[in-house]
Structure 1
Amino acid sequence: MAHVRKPADYEPPSSAELLRYTAVAALAAAVLLVVVVLPAEYGIDPTGLGARIGLKQMGEIKTQLAEEAAADAASSVHGAGVATGTSGSASPAPLATVPVGDEPSAPPAVSAAEGTWRDELTHQLAPDEGVEFKLVMDAGSVAEFSWTTDGGGLNYNMHGDGAGRSVEYEKGRALPGKDGSITAAFDGHHGWFWRNRSGKPVTLTLRTRGEYSALKRTS
Protein backbone atom coordinates (compact mmCIF):
# COMPACT_ATOMS: atom_id res chain seq x y z
CA MET A 1 0.00 0.00 0.00
CA ALA A 2 1.46 3.37 -1.07
CA HIS A 3 2.30 5.84 1.65
CA VAL A 4 0.56 9.20 1.22
CA ARG A 5 2.22 12.24 2.85
CA LYS A 6 -0.07 14.53 4.72
CA PRO A 7 0.30 18.17 3.63
CA ALA A 8 1.64 20.53 6.22
CA ASP A 9 -0.96 22.50 8.09
CA TYR A 10 -1.32 26.14 6.95
CA GLU A 11 -0.50 28.61 9.66
CA PRO A 12 -1.97 32.10 9.14
CA PRO A 13 0.25 35.05 10.09
CA SER A 14 0.09 36.05 13.70
CA SER A 15 -1.22 39.39 14.92
CA ALA A 16 2.34 40.56 15.53
CA GLU A 17 3.33 39.70 11.95
CA LEU A 18 0.28 41.53 10.55
CA LEU A 19 1.15 44.61 12.59
CA ARG A 20 4.73 44.46 11.35
CA TYR A 21 3.61 44.20 7.70
CA THR A 22 1.21 47.12 8.21
CA ALA A 23 3.94 49.25 9.79
CA VAL A 24 6.35 48.53 6.91
CA ALA A 25 3.70 49.48 4.33
CA ALA A 26 2.84 52.69 6.21
CA LEU A 27 6.54 53.61 6.43
CA ALA A 28 7.03 53.05 2.69
CA ALA A 29 3.98 55.21 1.91
CA ALA A 30 5.30 57.97 4.18
CA VAL A 31 8.70 57.90 2.48
CA LEU A 32 7.07 58.17 -0.98
CA LEU A 33 4.92 61.05 0.25
CA VAL A 34 7.88 63.04 1.60
CA VAL A 35 10.43 62.23 -1.13
CA VAL A 36 8.20 62.17 -4.26
CA VAL A 37 4.64 63.48 -3.83
CA LEU A 38 5.28 66.66 -1.81
CA PRO A 39 8.14 67.96 -4.05
CA ALA A 40 6.46 66.99 -7.37
CA GLU A 41 2.97 68.28 -6.56
CA TYR A 42 3.47 71.15 -4.10
CA GLY A 43 7.14 72.18 -4.34
CA ILE A 44 7.70 71.14 -0.68
CA ASP A 45 11.03 69.36 -0.27
CA PRO A 46 11.85 68.49 3.38
CA THR A 47 14.68 66.09 2.47
CA GLY A 48 16.33 68.05 -0.36
CA LEU A 49 16.20 65.01 -2.67
CA GLY A 50 13.38 66.52 -4.73
CA ALA A 51 15.59 69.44 -5.81
CA ARG A 52 18.39 67.07 -6.83
CA ILE A 53 16.18 64.98 -9.12
CA GLY A 54 14.11 67.87 -10.50
CA LEU A 55 10.84 67.12 -8.69
CA LYS A 56 10.82 70.30 -6.60
CA GLN A 57 11.06 72.54 -9.67
CA MET A 58 8.14 70.67 -11.22
CA GLY A 59 6.06 71.18 -8.08
CA GLU A 60 6.88 74.90 -7.90
CA ILE A 61 5.78 75.40 -11.49
CA LYS A 62 2.54 73.45 -10.86
CA THR A 63 1.84 75.52 -7.75
CA GLN A 64 2.43 78.82 -9.51
CA LEU A 65 0.25 77.84 -12.47
CA ALA A 66 -2.51 76.74 -10.07
CA GLU A 67 -2.35 80.11 -8.28
CA GLU A 68 -2.56 81.93 -11.60
CA ALA A 69 -5.54 79.78 -12.67
CA ALA A 70 -7.35 80.49 -9.39
CA ALA A 71 -6.79 84.22 -9.83
CA ASP A 72 -8.11 84.03 -13.39
CA ALA A 73 -11.19 82.15 -12.21
CA ALA A 74 -11.88 84.77 -9.54
CA SER A 75 -11.52 87.56 -12.10
CA SER A 76 -13.90 85.75 -14.48
CA VAL A 77 -16.56 85.32 -11.77
CA HIS A 78 -16.31 88.98 -10.81
CA GLY A 79 -16.57 90.06 -14.43
CA ALA A 80 -19.62 87.85 -15.03
CA GLY A 81 -21.44 89.50 -12.10
CA VAL A 82 -20.87 93.01 -13.49
CA ALA A 83 -21.22 92.51 -17.23
CA THR A 84 -24.59 92.22 -19.00
CA GLY A 85 -25.59 90.53 -22.25
CA THR A 86 -24.76 87.12 -23.67
CA SER A 87 -22.26 85.15 -21.62
CA GLY A 88 -19.63 82.85 -23.09
CA SER A 89 -16.11 81.63 -22.62
CA ALA A 90 -13.21 82.74 -24.76
CA SER A 91 -11.40 80.07 -26.72
CA PRO A 92 -7.79 79.47 -25.65
CA ALA A 93 -5.15 81.03 -27.85
CA PRO A 94 -3.93 78.53 -30.46
CA LEU A 95 -0.31 77.42 -30.59
CA ALA A 96 1.27 79.71 -33.13
CA THR A 97 4.75 80.16 -34.51
CA VAL A 98 5.89 83.76 -34.58
CA PRO A 99 6.93 84.57 -38.17
CA VAL A 100 10.62 85.22 -38.60
CA GLY A 101 10.27 87.03 -41.89
CA ASP A 102 11.86 86.64 -45.30
CA GLU A 103 15.38 85.90 -44.12
CA PRO A 104 17.97 84.10 -46.24
CA SER A 105 18.34 80.40 -45.53
CA ALA A 106 21.89 80.95 -44.27
CA PRO A 107 22.10 84.46 -42.79
CA PRO A 108 25.56 85.86 -42.12
CA ALA A 109 26.77 85.66 -38.53
CA VAL A 110 26.25 88.85 -36.55
CA SER A 111 28.10 89.57 -33.32
CA ALA A 112 26.16 90.45 -30.17
CA ALA A 113 27.89 93.83 -30.06
CA GLU A 114 26.13 94.89 -33.26
CA GLY A 115 22.78 94.60 -31.46
CA THR A 116 20.94 92.69 -34.19
CA TRP A 117 18.17 90.40 -32.99
CA ARG A 118 16.89 87.37 -34.86
CA ASP A 119 13.26 87.68 -33.70
CA GLU A 120 11.26 90.54 -32.22
CA LEU A 121 7.60 90.57 -31.18
CA THR A 122 5.20 92.87 -29.35
CA HIS A 123 2.13 91.82 -27.36
CA GLN A 124 -0.26 93.93 -25.29
CA LEU A 125 -1.54 92.29 -22.10
CA ALA A 126 -4.83 93.41 -20.61
CA PRO A 127 -5.11 93.54 -16.79
CA ASP A 128 -4.77 89.99 -15.33
CA GLU A 129 -3.96 88.53 -18.78
CA GLY A 130 -1.16 85.99 -19.14
CA VAL A 131 0.90 85.00 -22.17
CA GLU A 132 3.70 82.50 -22.79
CA PHE A 133 6.38 82.44 -25.50
CA LYS A 134 9.01 79.71 -25.79
CA LEU A 135 12.06 78.82 -27.89
CA VAL A 136 12.47 75.33 -29.35
CA MET A 137 15.99 74.37 -28.24
CA ASP A 138 18.34 71.39 -28.07
CA ALA A 139 20.08 70.45 -24.84
CA GLY A 140 23.09 72.68 -24.17
CA SER A 141 22.18 75.32 -26.77
CA VAL A 142 22.25 79.00 -25.74
CA ALA A 143 19.88 81.82 -26.66
CA GLU A 144 20.07 85.50 -25.69
CA PHE A 145 16.97 87.53 -24.89
CA SER A 146 15.80 90.99 -23.93
CA TRP A 147 12.25 91.88 -22.93
CA THR A 148 10.86 95.28 -21.96
CA THR A 149 7.48 96.68 -20.99
CA ASP A 150 5.56 99.88 -21.62
CA GLY A 151 2.84 100.84 -19.14
CA GLY A 152 3.90 98.87 -16.05
CA GLY A 153 5.76 95.85 -14.73
CA LEU A 154 4.95 92.16 -15.30
CA ASN A 155 5.23 89.02 -13.20
CA TYR A 156 7.26 86.39 -15.03
CA ASN A 157 8.53 82.82 -14.81
CA MET A 158 11.35 81.60 -17.06
CA HIS A 159 11.23 77.81 -17.35
CA GLY A 160 11.48 74.85 -19.72
CA ASP A 161 9.66 71.61 -20.43
CA GLY A 162 9.86 68.65 -22.78
CA ALA A 163 9.78 64.83 -22.84
CA GLY A 164 8.20 64.67 -19.41
CA ARG A 165 10.81 66.96 -17.83
CA SER A 166 10.56 70.50 -16.48
CA VAL A 167 12.92 73.08 -15.01
CA GLU A 168 12.54 76.57 -13.56
CA TYR A 169 15.34 79.03 -14.34
CA GLU A 170 14.11 82.16 -12.55
CA LYS A 171 11.04 84.24 -11.74
CA GLY A 172 10.14 87.74 -10.59
CA ARG A 173 7.31 90.16 -9.89
CA ALA A 174 6.39 93.58 -11.29
CA LEU A 175 9.56 93.88 -13.39
CA PRO A 176 9.81 96.42 -16.24
CA GLY A 177 12.19 94.19 -18.23
CA LYS A 178 15.02 91.68 -18.23
CA ASP A 179 18.15 90.91 -20.28
CA GLY A 180 20.01 87.61 -20.21
CA SER A 181 20.45 84.20 -21.78
CA ILE A 182 19.01 80.70 -21.56
CA THR A 183 21.13 77.54 -21.65
CA ALA A 184 18.73 74.67 -22.42
CA ALA A 185 18.87 71.98 -19.74
CA PHE A 186 17.37 69.43 -22.16
CA ASP A 187 15.69 69.16 -25.57
CA GLY A 188 12.35 70.97 -25.50
CA HIS A 189 10.63 74.33 -25.13
CA HIS A 190 12.33 77.00 -23.02
CA GLY A 191 10.98 80.49 -22.43
CA TRP A 192 8.77 82.81 -20.41
CA PHE A 193 5.32 83.14 -18.93
CA TRP A 194 4.17 86.69 -18.11
CA ARG A 195 1.16 87.89 -16.12
CA ASN A 196 -0.10 91.48 -15.94
CA ARG A 197 -1.12 92.34 -12.36
CA SER A 198 -0.69 96.10 -12.76
CA GLY A 199 -4.40 96.83 -13.21
CA LYS A 200 -3.84 98.53 -16.58
CA PRO A 201 -2.77 97.45 -20.10
CA VAL A 202 0.94 96.72 -20.50
CA THR A 203 2.79 96.30 -23.80
CA LEU A 204 5.48 93.59 -23.84
CA THR A 205 8.36 93.58 -26.35
CA LEU A 206 10.51 90.43 -26.62
CA ARG A 207 13.74 90.13 -28.64
CA THR A 208 15.71 86.88 -29.08
CA ARG A 209 18.70 85.46 -30.92
CA GLY A 210 20.94 82.42 -30.67
CA GLU A 211 20.72 78.65 -30.97
CA TYR A 212 17.05 77.75 -31.40
CA SER A 213 14.86 76.50 -34.24
CA ALA A 214 11.66 78.47 -33.59
CA LEU A 215 9.98 80.99 -31.32
CA LYS A 216 6.42 79.96 -30.45
CA ARG A 217 3.47 81.29 -28.51
CA THR A 218 2.39 78.41 -26.26
CA SER A 219 -0.48 80.03 -24.33
Structure 2
Amino acid sequence: MRLLPQLGLTALVATAVTVAFVLPAEYGIDPTGLGAATGLTRLDAPQEIRVEPVANVPFEIARPHETPYREDTIMVRVGGLDEFYGQIEYKLTMQAGDTLLYSWSSPEELYYDFHGHADPEAHAEGASDGPMEVMTYATGRAFEASGVLTAPIDGIHGWFLANRKMEPVMMELHLAGWYELGPGLISLTRRE
Protein backbone atom coordinates (compact mmCIF):
# COMPACT_ATOMS: atom_id res chain seq x y z
CA MET A 1 0.00 0.00 0.00
CA ARG A 2 2.92 2.34 0.51
CA LEU A 3 4.03 1.83 -3.12
CA LEU A 4 1.08 3.65 -4.71
CA PRO A 5 1.59 6.93 -2.81
CA GLN A 6 5.32 6.83 -3.59
CA LEU A 7 4.61 6.30 -7.33
CA GLY A 8 2.08 9.14 -7.30
CA LEU A 9 4.55 11.47 -5.55
CA THR A 10 7.31 10.49 -8.03
CA ALA A 11 5.03 11.17 -11.03
CA LEU A 12 4.02 14.55 -9.57
CA VAL A 13 7.66 15.58 -8.99
CA ALA A 14 8.66 14.39 -12.48
CA THR A 15 5.81 16.40 -14.04
CA ALA A 16 6.78 19.51 -12.06
CA VAL A 17 10.45 19.20 -13.09
CA THR A 18 9.45 18.70 -16.73
CA VAL A 19 7.13 21.73 -16.78
CA ALA A 20 9.42 24.03 -14.78
CA PHE A 21 12.83 23.09 -16.20
CA VAL A 22 12.86 20.68 -19.18
CA LEU A 23 10.24 22.42 -21.35
CA PRO A 24 11.85 25.90 -21.07
CA ALA A 25 15.42 24.61 -21.54
CA GLU A 26 14.81 22.11 -24.35
CA TYR A 27 11.78 23.42 -26.24
CA GLY A 28 11.45 27.11 -25.33
CA ILE A 29 8.02 26.45 -23.75
CA ASP A 30 7.69 28.29 -20.43
CA PRO A 31 4.18 27.98 -18.93
CA THR A 32 5.29 28.91 -15.40
CA GLY A 33 7.65 31.81 -16.23
CA LEU A 34 10.39 30.13 -14.16
CA GLY A 35 12.44 29.45 -17.32
CA ALA A 36 12.61 33.16 -18.22
CA ALA A 37 13.39 34.12 -14.62
CA THR A 38 16.25 31.63 -14.35
CA GLY A 39 17.56 32.02 -17.94
CA LEU A 40 16.67 28.48 -18.95
CA THR A 41 14.79 29.67 -22.08
CA ARG A 42 18.04 31.08 -23.48
CA LEU A 43 19.52 27.58 -23.58
CA ASP A 44 17.13 26.70 -26.44
CA ALA A 45 17.88 29.86 -28.46
CA PRO A 46 20.81 30.02 -30.90
CA GLN A 47 23.70 32.20 -29.88
CA GLU A 48 23.67 35.58 -31.63
CA ILE A 49 26.82 37.32 -32.80
CA ARG A 50 26.54 40.91 -34.04
CA VAL A 51 28.38 41.56 -37.31
CA GLU A 52 28.86 44.75 -39.29
CA PRO A 53 27.23 45.09 -42.74
CA VAL A 54 29.33 44.06 -45.73
CA ALA A 55 31.70 46.84 -46.77
CA ASN A 56 32.20 48.16 -50.32
CA VAL A 57 28.66 47.41 -51.52
CA PRO A 58 27.66 50.07 -54.11
CA PHE A 59 24.12 50.40 -52.68
CA GLU A 60 22.38 50.20 -49.35
CA ILE A 61 21.71 46.64 -48.21
CA ALA A 62 18.39 47.56 -46.60
CA ARG A 63 16.63 50.77 -47.46
CA PRO A 64 13.10 52.09 -47.29
CA HIS A 65 11.21 53.18 -50.42
CA GLU A 66 8.83 56.12 -50.63
CA THR A 67 6.49 54.10 -52.84
CA PRO A 68 5.25 50.55 -52.39
CA TYR A 69 6.59 47.91 -54.73
CA ARG A 70 4.52 47.05 -57.77
CA GLU A 71 3.61 43.81 -59.49
CA ASP A 72 2.79 43.23 -63.14
CA THR A 73 2.03 40.26 -65.36
CA ILE A 74 2.61 41.08 -69.00
CA MET A 75 2.06 39.02 -72.13
CA VAL A 76 4.88 39.82 -74.55
CA ARG A 77 4.34 38.84 -78.17
CA VAL A 78 7.55 37.67 -79.80
CA GLY A 79 6.95 37.59 -83.56
CA GLY A 80 7.96 34.80 -85.88
CA LEU A 81 10.91 34.90 -88.27
CA ASP A 82 8.79 36.75 -90.84
CA GLU A 83 8.24 39.67 -88.37
CA PHE A 84 11.37 41.67 -87.60
CA TYR A 85 13.30 38.39 -87.84
CA GLY A 86 11.62 37.20 -84.61
CA GLN A 87 13.35 39.84 -82.49
CA ILE A 88 11.89 42.12 -79.84
CA GLU A 89 12.98 43.98 -76.73
CA TYR A 90 11.06 44.52 -73.51
CA LYS A 91 12.49 47.26 -71.29
CA LEU A 92 11.96 48.75 -67.82
CA THR A 93 13.29 51.95 -66.28
CA MET A 94 15.05 51.52 -62.92
CA GLN A 95 17.23 53.58 -60.60
CA ALA A 96 20.56 52.23 -59.30
CA GLY A 97 19.91 50.10 -56.21
CA ASP A 98 16.27 49.33 -57.10
CA THR A 99 15.33 45.66 -56.99
CA LEU A 100 13.35 43.61 -59.50
CA LEU A 101 12.10 40.04 -59.09
CA TYR A 102 11.19 38.43 -62.40
CA SER A 103 9.97 35.20 -63.90
CA TRP A 104 9.11 34.47 -67.52
CA SER A 105 7.94 31.45 -69.48
CA SER A 106 7.27 30.64 -73.12
CA PRO A 107 5.80 27.60 -74.89
CA GLU A 108 8.74 27.77 -77.32
CA GLU A 109 12.43 28.09 -76.57
CA LEU A 110 13.62 31.70 -76.86
CA TYR A 111 17.04 33.24 -77.08
CA TYR A 112 17.32 35.94 -74.39
CA ASP A 113 19.81 38.62 -73.47
CA PHE A 114 19.00 40.21 -70.10
CA HIS A 115 20.89 43.50 -69.95
CA GLY A 116 20.90 47.12 -68.85
CA HIS A 117 22.25 50.41 -70.12
CA ALA A 118 22.14 54.12 -69.41
CA ASP A 119 19.05 56.00 -70.58
CA PRO A 120 19.75 56.69 -74.30
CA GLU A 121 17.85 60.03 -74.21
CA ALA A 122 19.82 61.31 -71.21
CA HIS A 123 23.03 60.14 -72.87
CA ALA A 124 22.12 61.90 -76.14
CA GLU A 125 21.37 65.13 -74.26
CA GLY A 126 24.92 65.16 -72.92
CA ALA A 127 24.23 63.84 -69.41
CA SER A 128 27.43 61.83 -69.75
CA ASP A 129 30.42 61.92 -72.08
CA GLY A 130 31.86 58.94 -73.87
CA PRO A 131 30.26 55.69 -74.90
CA MET A 132 27.05 54.49 -73.29
CA GLU A 133 27.50 51.80 -70.61
CA VAL A 134 25.86 48.47 -71.43
CA MET A 135 25.89 45.54 -68.99
CA THR A 136 24.84 41.99 -69.84
CA TYR A 137 23.36 40.13 -66.85
CA ALA A 138 22.47 36.78 -68.46
CA THR A 139 22.14 35.23 -71.92
CA GLY A 140 21.03 31.87 -73.20
CA ARG A 141 18.23 29.81 -74.70
CA ALA A 142 15.37 28.70 -72.47
CA PHE A 143 11.66 28.08 -72.10
CA GLU A 144 11.69 29.95 -68.78
CA ALA A 145 13.89 31.94 -66.43
CA SER A 146 13.56 33.65 -63.08
CA GLY A 147 15.72 35.65 -60.75
CA VAL A 148 16.38 38.95 -59.08
CA LEU A 149 18.20 42.07 -60.25
CA THR A 150 19.50 44.97 -58.19
CA ALA A 151 20.05 47.66 -60.81
CA PRO A 152 23.75 48.63 -60.88
CA ILE A 153 23.07 51.88 -62.80
CA ASP A 154 20.24 54.32 -63.46
CA GLY A 155 18.71 53.50 -66.81
CA ILE A 156 16.98 50.94 -68.96
CA HIS A 157 16.99 47.24 -68.02
CA GLY A 158 15.28 44.43 -69.88
CA TRP A 159 15.31 41.54 -72.28
CA PHE A 160 16.23 41.18 -75.94
CA LEU A 161 14.24 38.16 -77.16
CA ALA A 162 14.55 36.15 -80.35
CA ASN A 163 12.14 33.50 -81.64
CA ARG A 164 13.56 31.10 -84.23
CA LYS A 165 10.15 29.74 -85.32
CA MET A 166 7.94 31.07 -88.11
CA GLU A 167 4.93 31.37 -85.78
CA PRO A 168 4.78 34.10 -83.13
CA VAL A 169 5.02 33.15 -79.47
CA MET A 170 3.44 34.68 -76.36
CA MET A 171 5.85 34.99 -73.45
CA GLU A 172 4.35 35.49 -69.98
CA LEU A 173 6.42 37.89 -67.85
CA HIS A 174 5.87 38.32 -64.09
CA LEU A 175 7.51 41.32 -62.41
CA ALA A 176 7.64 42.64 -58.84
CA GLY A 177 9.76 45.41 -57.37
CA TRP A 178 10.60 49.05 -58.02
CA TYR A 179 10.57 49.92 -61.73
CA GLU A 180 8.60 51.79 -64.34
CA LEU A 181 7.10 50.12 -67.40
CA GLY A 182 8.95 52.16 -69.92
CA PRO A 183 10.18 52.91 -72.40
CA GLY A 184 8.18 49.74 -72.92
CA LEU A 185 7.92 47.28 -75.72
CA ILE A 186 10.29 48.03 -78.56
CA SER A 187 10.23 46.03 -81.77
CA LEU A 188 13.62 45.79 -83.39
CA THR A 189 13.77 46.56 -87.07
CA ARG A 190 15.98 44.87 -89.59
CA ARG A 191 19.59 45.95 -89.39
CA GLU A 192 21.43 46.63 -92.62
Q: TM-score, normalised by structure 2?
A: 0.49
More helix, by proportion: 1
Q: TM-score, normalised by structure 1?
A: 0.44
More strand, by proportion: 2
Point out the structure with max Rg over C-alpha. Answer: 2
